[in-house]
Amino acid sequence: MWKTACDTAAKCIAEAKEYNKQRWDKSHMEPDFKEGDRVLVSTLNFNNIKGLKNMRDSFVGPFIVEDKFPSRKKNPTPPGIVEVEDSPGPVKKIIKARKIRLNGKDQRQYLFRFKNQTADEYKWLAEDAIPDWNLYLRRLRESRSTEQSHQ
């Protein structure tokens, strides 16, 4: 009984596939352009032409066909997945400090600047996220005190 059900299902799938193929082939034709032919291009999906839609030209051109893509070309395979490092690298210094509220508790965060990275890659991190954060915090406080004493 199982085998007859599988055979019937396979037969139905094959018939449906053939039916869909016939319908597709009936309504779609492969364009028979050759190199050097002059063609018009539809402006239906152009969104860079100004003015009222009903006042625009329906087609632009003529353009000359220079090369034809092979039909049924398989899409290229996407590049492999590249693993991104979570650690941004060695810390250069702390730039700012702030206090935010997380889960009902105040938490201090520091804006860390990392070596060999641009300003848009600075990160707000908690104290315990960076080893030796005390050293960098001490340097931040020293730089602030020297700036205030010079003013």
Going by pLDDT thresholds of 50, 70 and 90, the confidence category of residue 27 is confident
The mean pLDDT value for 116-130 works out to 77
Tell me the C-alpha distance between 40 and 67, whole Å. 15
Q: pLDDT: is 109 or 18 the higher one?
A: 18
Q: Give CATH for domain 91-150.
A: 2.40.50
Helix (H) or strand (E) holding 126: strand 123-126
Q: Is the pLDDT of residue 151 over 70?
A: no
Cβ atoms within 10 Å of 94's Cβ, excluding its own: 23
Range among 8-22, 57-71, 122-136 rated most confident: 8-22
Query: What is this structure's pTM?
Result: 0.37
Domain boundaries, the chain: 33-68, 91-150
pLDDT over 80 (residue 127): no
Contact 113, 124 (CB under 8 A): no
**For the chain, what percent of residues have pLDDT higher than 90?**
13
Instruction: Name the nearest CA neighbour of 118 among 84, 92, 86.
Output: 92
Give the list of residues 6+ apart from residue 16 with CB closer than 8 angstroms, or none. Answer: none
Among residues 55, 26, 61, 29, the alpha carbon closest in space to that of 42 is found at 61
Tens digit of pLDDT for each residue in 61-79?
Answer: 888 988 877 666 667 777 7
Interior/surface letters 12-25, b for 16+ CB within 10 angstroms, e for the rest: eeeeeeeeeeeeee
